[in-house]
Structure formats: C-alpha cells, structure tokens
Amino acid sequence: MITSIFYKEWIKTRRILLLSLVVFAALITYIFINVEQMFRINGATQVWTETILKDISVLTRIQWLPLILSVLFGVSQFVPEMSNKRLKLTLHLPMPENKIMFSMLAFGLSGLLILYAITYMAILGGLNIYYPPEIVWSMVEASLPWFLAGLAGYLFVAWICIEPVWRHRVFNTLIAAYALTFFMISAKSGAYMPFIPYLLAIIIVAHFFSFYSMYRFKDGSQ
Amino acid sequence: MENIIVCENITHYYGSRLIYENLNFEVKKGKILGLLGKNGTGKTTIINILNGYLKPRSGECRIFREKMENLSPGTKASIGLLLEGHIQHTFFNVRQIEKFYRQFYPNWKAGAYYELLRKLQVSETQRISAMSCGQRSQVALGLLFAQDPDLLILDDFSMGLDPGYRRLFVQYLKEYASNGDKTIFLTSHIIQDMEMLIDDCIILDYGRILLHKPTDYILNKFKRYTFNSSATEIKATDKLWNPEKTGNTWELYSFSPKDEIQQILEPYNIANLKEEKLSLEDAFIGLTGKY
C-alpha cells in the first residue's frame, strides 16, 4: 500500500522533480564554467588565496535554490490534495491516517534527499578537481544549512497546504518564514556547524506540524 | 435486519446557524436510502460527519458498528465513497488511477472498471483532468464497482450529469444493489432519479428530519388535493401540508385519504375536490414547500 501512495505522489511531482534536477544541473554546470574561467584567467594560486583569505565560496549561487525548489515540490504534492478537498479521498484509503500522512511526507523527503545527494555528488566531483579537500569541505559545510532549509521548507509547505483554514494558513506561513530565517544567516565558514543540530531539531518538529493540520482537516475546521 | 449506519442525536452548527438538532436515523443492510433536502439543509454535512470529516457539536454516527471518527482500515475498505461533483485525483490518467487503487482493496475487480470505461470511448492514457463531468462520473463509478464495497455512500451523484449519464449511473447502481447484501446511502438534488432507485427516503428540512419513510409509502399515500374555495386562509396542520391559493383554487398535500380531507375541509365550503397521485419530486415539493 505504501508503494501505491508513493506511486500517487510520484505522478503528482515527477515533473517538478525532473525540473529541479535540470535546474540544479544547469546551475552547477554554470558554476564550474565560472570556476574554470577564474582558474584560467587568474591562476590557481590567486584563486585559492582569495578563497581562503576572503572566505569566498563558489556555491553561494545555489543558496536559495534548495528552498525554492522544495517549496515548488511541496506545492505540487499538496495543492492537488487540497483543491476540492481531495485529501478526503486519500484519507478514505484503507490505511491508518497517520501512516498515509507519514508515507506522503516520507516520499517528499526521500525525493528531496535523493535530489540533494545527486547535487552534492556533482558538486564534490567538480570541486575536487579545482580545490584541496579542506576548501571543498569548508564550502560543503557552508552550504549544508541551505539544503536543510530545503527540507524544512518542504515540511512547512505541507503544513501550510493541509491546514484547512485560510487565516491559519497565513499565520503558519509567517511562522514558517521566521523559522526559515535561521537557516539563511550569513556566517563565516564553519561558524554554522554547532548550530546544525538545532536546525535538525526544527526539521524534526516541523515534520509533526502536517499531522496537526490533518487532524484539523479531519475535524472539519472551517 | 442489521443496521449498517446508525446516527444518534446529531446536533451541528456552522457558527451560530443550526444545521440539525438531535438528528436520528439508521440504514439497514441491503437497503437503498436516499437523503433529500433543499439546498443548505445539510445533506453533504451529514455525509462528511458519517465519514469522519466533520466533528458534530454533539451526537455520534457509527458505520458497521465503528465510530465515525475512528473507522478502521478494514471498515474503510468496505465503504465506497463518492464525493460531491465526482471528485477524483485528476492528475492520474484512466489506467494510472486503476493501478493506484488496485493495491488497497483485496477484492478489486479491474474488469468491472474497464468494462464501464469501454462505453466512454476514452483512451486508457487520457488524463482525468481532461474529461467531461459525465466521463469523470463514470470513472468514479467504475472505481467504486471495482472496489466492490458493502456500503456505498454517494454525495449528489447526479450533479453535473446530463440525462444519459444519470440514467446510466442509476442503472449500474440498481444492478449493484440487486445483490441483497449491498447497502447504499445517497443524496441527489435530482429527485426523479431517486424515485427509480431508493427503498427508503429521508427528507430533511432546516434543522430536522421532516420525514423518514419507505419510498413506496410516500408514493402511494401522499397525495395532492386541489379544490375551489373562497376561504382566505387554510392553516397547515399535520394532515394538511403546505396549503396554497392561486386565484380561487387551493392546493394542498396530505397522507390522509380523500374522504378524510373532505371532512377536514368542510368548514371552508370547498367544491371540486380532486386527488392526484404524485411523483417523488412532487411529493418532495409538497412536503417541503416551493420556497
């Protein structure tokens, strides 16, 4: 039955997943064309020196991308459920309701994690050609909160979409926007690492919000 | 006979507007019960309550002896639900939606689904979002028959359908119900379709059940009476429903036979008392009034 839920979610979101993959691939390609050009024009010594002394990361161009794409992904998954209250059909399936919701979210999180994993593999593969491991790790570390923002953003979108009352949706959106600012603070390399467990905690807590919206939907909140 | 649906003392408000107060009814196994009511009397509300999608202010409904808010997966598998407007997951195509639902139901009858859809002349790869309302209704009906549930709950199944599709829908439902173990609870605002289908009838008025009787009883006993009288007012009673005057001619409805009506109306100096048999739609108007 869970495979069937995954099948439904796949049909809804496959286009946006493919689009996300294409956008990530295009941006990463663009980043590496830029890096190649920098190395060609300025030489490795100067590029490395600037990267280390000025704490510049070539990945800042993708800062907002995980969040934007995960929001689009969440919208493509949950808006069809809420238009004409189709969630009633989903919750009427012969499965415990919590399991249905968990499966839907599990699909979304798995989809995003696979997308992010592919993106990271491409980034690591490319960066390792041009930079030493210490610089690569520093850049990846700095980008981690942005990808976590993608996961949190997805869960917040699920929470907002499933909420049946518009007034509450607006309130939830404000809370979500505020929570997401924690993922987007500018900081020097490595400064964010001690904060990562707290960001993970926000993600874990956000995971439960959709269940709360589902209970409100079930109670017929208007 | 076993009760499949039981609703006890349901009271519900939207804000301060009363929808029902102490609503009670049950649906017995093997019966087709139609819920009729004007717009805004709460037909869809009761279906939402029954399926656990709305918490009433007070009272309780049970389906297959399980409380509405906690239906087990097994019970849900025995209930076929048609939402108002034949709502379905429109991002699927004809084949995908069958593939999706198939996994959930042990007695899935894919043949029943595809047999019905062959009549539609749509390809298996056509998206449901690109279908007409009538075609969507047949997809929804096909899925319900493939599920082969013991109880069908249909919310305004005739909504948006042309006469041909409505007739097809009713024919299939009759055939489904002809197996004595199947129970159907339905609402529709097109009452002439219900007449061909339902065994029992609940007529809802604002805030209460006006009548809960077998359809045959209503069709055989409930009559329209017309007569001439110079009276300016005839009060409605439990025997005289919705008296109304047009020119010098009065019209009213009653479950009482003609002789009794003649007697009751004697003080009004009536003449030319005529009795008419009614269709279910006429009976509905007679019971609820035109306005």
| Distance of alpha carbon B190 from alpha carbon B186, whole angstroms | 12
> In the predicted model, is pLDDT for residue B122 greater than 80?
no
**A9, A12, A78, A89: best mutation site toward chain B, by most B Cβ within 10 Å?**
A89
| Distance of alpha carbon A109 from alpha carbon A118, whole angstroms | 14
Q: Is B76 in contact with A3 (Cβ distance < 8 A)?
A: no
> In the predicted model, is pLDDT for residue B180 greater than 80?
no
Two tokens at B46?
């009761």
Q: List, for residues B217-232, the tens digit of each pLDDT value.
A: 999 999 999 988 888 8
| Distance of alpha carbon B129 from alpha carbon A163, whole angstroms | 24
> In the predicted model, is pLDDT for residue B185 greater than 90?
yes
Residue B290 has a pLDDT of 63
**B103, B107, B148, B155: best mutation site toward chain A, by most A Cβ within 10 Å?**
B103
Is-contact B213 B187, C-beta < 8 A? no
Report the sign of the C-alpha dihedral through residues A126, A131, A135, A139, in that order: negative
Q: List, for residues B74-88, the tens digit of each pLDDT value.
A: 999 999 999 888 888
Mean pLDDT of B107-119: 86
Is-contact A57 A47, C-beta < 8 A? no
Delimit the domains of chain B by residue range. 3-217, 222-288
The chain-wide mean pLDDT, for chain A, equals 90
Q: Nearest Cα to B187, choosing from B102, B262, B81, B87?
A: B81
Half-sphere exposure of residue B212, counting CA atoms within 13 Å on the CB side? 10
Question: What is the residue type of A105?
Answer: L
Facing B83 at nearest CB: one of A80, A89, A217: A89
Q: Nearest Cα to B238, choosing from B253, B228, B248, B223?
A: B253
> In the predicted model, is pLDDT for residue B291 greater than 70?
no
Two tokens at A203?
């993600």
Q: List, for residues A80-118, the tens digit of each pLDDT value.
A: 999 888 999 999 999 999 999 999 999 999 999 999 999
**Residues 224-263 (B) with a CB less than 8 A from some CB of A:** none
Select the CATH number that applies to the domain covering B3-217 from these four: 3.40.1050.10, 3.40.50.300, 3.30.1330.10, 3.40.190.290.
3.40.50.300
* Least confident interval from A73-77, A169-173, B163-167, B181-185: B163-167
| Distance of alpha carbon A135 from alpha carbon A141, whole angstroms | 10
Domain membership of residue A91 as a residue range: 2-218
> In the predicted model, is pLDDT for residue A66 greater than 90?
yes
Q: CB A54: neighbour CB atoms within 10 A?
A: 7
- Give me the CATH code for the B222-288 domain, please: 3.30.70
Q: Is A85 in contact with B87 (Cβ distance < 8 A)?
A: yes
**Which residues lie below 8 Å from residue A117, measured CB to CB, with a gap of 6+?**
none
Number of inter-chain CB pairs under 8 A, A vs B? 67
Mean pLDDT of B243-266: 87
Q: Pinpoint the alpha helices (H) of A54-195.
A: 65-82, 87-91, 97-130, 133-162, 166-181
Helix axes A97-130 and A133-162, enclosed angle (nearest 10): 160
Q: Where do we find the tokens 């029902």? A: B20
| Distance of alpha carbon B149 from alpha carbon A94, whole angstroms | 12
Strand partners, B131: none
* Cβ neighbours of A94 in B, within 8 Å: 73-74, 76-77, 104-105
Facing A80 at nearest CB: one of B69, B81, B91: B91
Facing A92 at nearest CB: one of B14, B76, B100: B76
Is-contact B33 B186, C-beta < 8 A? yes
For residue B99, give the chain A residue with the closest CA. Answer: A4
Is-contact A153 A179, C-beta < 8 A? no
Residue A65 has a pLDDT of 92
Given this chain, do its domains B3-217 and B222-288 carry the same CATH topology? no
| Distance of alpha carbon B9 from alpha carbon B118, whole angstroms | 45
Q: Nearest Cα to B190, choosing from B12, B29, B34, B30?
A: B34
SS3 annotation, chain B: CCEEEEEEEEEEEECCEEEEEEEEEEEECCCEEEEEECCCCCHHHHHHHHCCCCCCCEEEEEECCEEHHHCCHHHHHCEEEECCCCCCCCCCEHHHHHHHHHCCCCCCCHHHHHHHHHCCCCCCCCEHHHCCHHHHHHHHHHHHHHHCCCEEEECCCCCCCCHHHHHHHHHHHHHHHCCCCCEEEEECCCHHHHHCCCCEEEEEECEEEEEEEEHHHHHHHCEEEEEECCCCCCCCCCCCEEEEEECCEEEEEECCCHHHHHHHCHHHCCEEEEEEECCHHHHHHHHHCCC
> In the predicted model, is pLDDT for residue A188 greater than 80?
no
For residue B88, give the chain A residue with the closest CA. Answer: A86
Confidence band, pLDDT 50/70/90 cuts, at residue B183: very high
**Which residues lie below 8 Å from residue A122, measured CB to CB, with a gap of 6+?**
A24, A25, A28
Query: How many structural domains compose chain A?
Result: 1
Is-contact B189 B159, C-beta < 8 A? yes
The chain-wide mean pLDDT, for chain B, equals 87
Q: List, for residues A205-218, the tens digit of each pLDDT value.
A: 999 999 999 999 98
Q: Where do we find the tokens 């009549």? A: B119
Q: Is A86 in contact with B99 (Cβ distance < 8 A)?
A: no
